[in-house]
Structure 1
C-alpha cells in the first residue's frame, strides 16, 4: 500500500528536480490541479493512471521509487542489452510452477505460447520485466 505522506514527499522531490510548481506539474502530466493538491495533502492516494502519467512523462522516474521510495531518483542510466528485432523470439516461455489459465494456443509439450497464433490486430504496447530483487525494466513500443 502506498503511504500518502511519503508519496507526497516524493512528488515534491519531482517538483524540485524539474523546477516545477504543483500547477505546472499537473499541466505537464495532463491532470487537474486539484488532483495534485489532494495528493500533496494526503486526502487521496495516487491512481494507477496518475502514476503511469508521471512515469511516462518523466523517464528519469522509476516506478518502484515513486510508489515505494525504493530505488533511485533520478533513475541512473544503465546500458540496455537489446537484441536486434530479428533476434527477438516469437514465443514466450511459461513458468512451470505458476498456475495460469490455459490459453487456446498453449502447447503443453514445450510450455510456450505461440504468438503467431494471436490475432494480427493486436500490437505490443509495453513489455515489463520484473526481477526478484524488486526492480524492473520497461520497454515501450515506439
Structure 2
C-alpha cells in the first residue's frame, strides 16, 4: 500500500472528509485532493503534519509500503489532535491589503519614482586637473531608462516613464 492509499485509509478510518482532514493538518484543501487523485505525491511537510496531528501513527507504518496502518486508527472522539498552525494562508482565507499595497497608494509611489527619475545628479565640480578625457560615445549606444515597473504582492503593478 503506497502513501497516498494510506492517507485515504486514514481519512476513512478517522471518519473525516478530505476537506476536514486538510483543515486539521493546516494545509490547502487542493493539496489533499491532488494527493488522493494521484496527481501529486505527499510532500515531507504533509507527512510531518500527519505524524504531528495523529501521534498514534508511527512514521514507519505510514512511510514503508510493506507495513500497514495499525488498528489504532479507529476514530476516538475523546482524543482531539493538536491543531497545527498553517504557515501559509489558505486559498480561501481573506487577505486584506496593507496600506502600502492599497490601490489608493499607487499614485503617490508613482509620483515619488517619477520625481526621482527627474532629479539631477548631485556631483562635485572637479578641478581641471581631475577631469579625465571622456570617451566619445555614439548616441545609439547610450542607455536610457524607458520605464520602471513596480509589482505588488496582490498582483497589481504601477508603471512610470521618464518625461
| TM-score interval, smaller chain | 0.3 to 0.5
TM-score by length of 2: 0.40
TM-score by length of 1: 0.46
Flag the structure with more relative contact order, 1 or 2, with Cα contacts below 8 A and sequence separation at least 6: 2
Bigger strand fraction: 1
> Highest CA radius of gyration, 1 or 2?
2
